[in-house]
Structure 1
Amino acid sequence: MNTVSEKPLIMPDVQSSVDTRHVAIQRVGVRGVRHPMMLDLGQGPVPTVAQWELTVALPPEEKGTHMSRFVALLEQYRRQPLTPVGFVQMAQEMLPLLNAGRGDISASFPVFLEKIAPVSGVASLMDYTLSWTARVAQGEQPEFELSVLVPVTSLCPCSKAISEYGAHNQRSHVTVQAVFSDPAAIDLPALIRRVESQASCELWGLLKRSDEKYVTEQAYDNPKFVEDLVRDVAVTVRSLPGVLRYRIEAENFESIHNHSAYASVEG
């Protein structure tokens, strides 16, 4: 009986074919990838889930990039606790994996930090939204950008000044976006504490009645406009070591209006 030998199937590498349009693409890759992430913020590994975006630059002569390799990189780092330094190293490893000269990695994720109530001393978790971005290129110094959203309380100085009793207050969001020259120097818990200390009062996940008295009176004794809040946070952020540039935003969710008060500072 005659047998026919089967030849291995050859899969064409379409992405590596030559493109004749001669148009370079600055950023191509994957975004909206929800994937586990291990963090190391100096207090032991902590699991979280991040929304990822990974992109590289594509030369004009190349037709496409290898999308599956981005996800393979995430799988490679899934169980490795990441610091800002490790995050930059991950981005640097992406370049040879994708045969690219330039690339970015961004991840946005929640972080929970334990806080102690000011009077009762009860412990609870407070959540913050954090984003990391690493920008790398062959032969260039990598760039690390951090963004953190910190919820606080603000109390209106004008309301306090014109009222016989009481003053309107609201929850506020302060967003700090900063580029650092040395990712190893970043102390996230300390940065969050600095931001919270500039508000009329900070927030806690759990408060007893004695704590509620404290936060009400603390805010009343420390009124701030949104302009005060964003300026005070900018002063403390620009004093941090290694900050190359920053953008501070403050949004007060007004309790007596159906709109927000907003301010932004860049430096």
Structure 2
Amino acid sequence: MNGILPVFRRSLRESWRGLLGWTVGLAAVLFLYLPLFPSLGGGGQLEAMISSLPKELVDTLGYDQIATGAGYAQSTFFGLIGFLLLTIAAVLWGSAALAGAEESGRAELDLAHGIGRAQYALESALAVLVRLVWLGVFAGLVVWALNGPSELGIDDGNIVGASAALTGLAFLTASAALFAGAATGRRIWATGVGAGVAVLGYILQALARQSADLEWLNALSPYAWVYHRPPLADGVDPGGLALTWGLALALVAAAAVALRVRDLRG
């Protein structure tokens, strides 16, 4: 392997078809859900339907603001389906980047061509990040394009913030998978840790919404860091956003160190 950023370039070259599939999937979800909002009476029918559901369920799913355009987009996409899709992509890509490459023997072969271990980890992380950023930007652009026709009434700046929050959450998940993969060399551990971070974060914020006595759990949940204040309605919390991205980058750095100091399985 030669040239500038060889691992990064190869990863993108080999994954563009899969990335295209994820892009189409996001587009399908957004074009399916967002245009439905006007047909629901500007949220009136939704409000009546949600009022018939148990309050605990409504709070858990974040449906308490679903009668507004911003709340509808947040509840259906950014906080639920979009979060789920990007989390799945992040876990798959993060676990494959280092642990998957080591289990297949590709990492050992690449490193034998003079690529440093830290460089290998950082370029792999960069490739995952670029793909996740593409999905986040694409989702934001589609929401922006549908904002007027779907009568959502979302401020353009808030769409940018919500997209950055969604991408940050996904990258944090991927970074956790990268770190676990670098530390253990086992894809099953990388997958478990990455998925665990996302699932635990969602569960903790859901529990925090059930009682004022449990609100302290929000401090432990990356999901709550960026979503405790509805980003599409009120703008994203800069502190929570910085904490999410900062922790993700710290895990990438830790992955580079872990891969550097550990013997590879081959």
Q: Which one has the largest radius of gyration? A: 1
Structure ranking higher on relative contact order (CA contacts 8 Å, 6+ apart): 2
Higher strand proportion, which one? 1
TM-score for the superposition, normalised by structure 2: 0.26
